[in-house]
Amino acid sequence: METSIVGVGVGITDRFRTVVEEKIAKIQTLAAKAQRLDVKVTHRVYRNGRVPDETVELTLVGKGPVVRAEAVDGDKFVALDLAIDKMTEQLRRAKEKRVDGRQHPRGPHFEKGSGSLEGIDVQPASAEVLHAVATGSIPVQSEEEDYSPVVIRTKSFEAEWMTVEEAVDRMELVGHDFFLFVDARTDHPSVVYRRKGWDYGVIALSTQAPPAEALAS
């Protein structure tokens, strides 16, 4: 597996590269088909007196969905350990889910005969709820504002059409508690989220015409 290591605001030493090569063995064991692991180390210094920290981001690329994990600590070696542990757990959960699904089919699945989704909660949501899940309702804090322990980052992605089952798998691989996608069966924007164990839920936004007052404005 090819490994790429880059630093932003911090130099990458030979010792760190050696430790990375030693630590990724557990990842290779769980992701034998992985082609490349990108490691990004970012050093952040804050103006408000907050102690600088190191963020380690791991991106595993191969045949199938991209797998990501991230961790933050004052020591980049500790952050590396935490990120690798996260990615290892994500890969292990995805592997156990595939094995368990073959042996004991359960959780969300599509019934071809009835055309319904079984083992998953589907409920409508308002445009405001879906917008809040996707983007958050609190403005992003700029560096000029007073310090707050709440840090909100925003990311924008191209819409992806997929089935609910594919969205669940993608959510497990990226290690998030929810995943935003467009349902390939309905063309509705939807969010799949983790409940307990292997149970999942879906919030779907039904397409409808905008209210008359919105058109008038």
**Interval 205-215: pLDDT, tens:** 876 655 555 55
When pLDDT is averaged across residues 90-95 and rounded to a whole number, the result is: 81
Using CA atoms, how far apart are residues 98 and 36, in angstroms rounded to an integer?
22
Give the per-residue pLDDT at 39.
92
Structure tokens at 109: 């699945």
Using CA atoms, how far apart are residues 209 and 217, in angstroms rounded to an integer?
15
Structure tokens at 17: 């590269």
What 3-state DSSP class applies to 79? helix
When pLDDT is averaged across residues 21-44 and rounded to a whole number, the result is: 86
pLDDT band at 138 (very low <50, low <70, confident <90, very high): very low
Top-confidence residue, 117 or 79:
79
- Asked whether the predicted pLDDT for residue 71 surpasses 80, the reply is yes
Q: Where is average pLDDT lowest: 12-21, 81-90, 134-143?
A: 134-143
Percent of the chain with pLDDT over 70: 69
Task: State the Cα torsion 73-75-79-81 to the nearest 10°.
Answer: -140
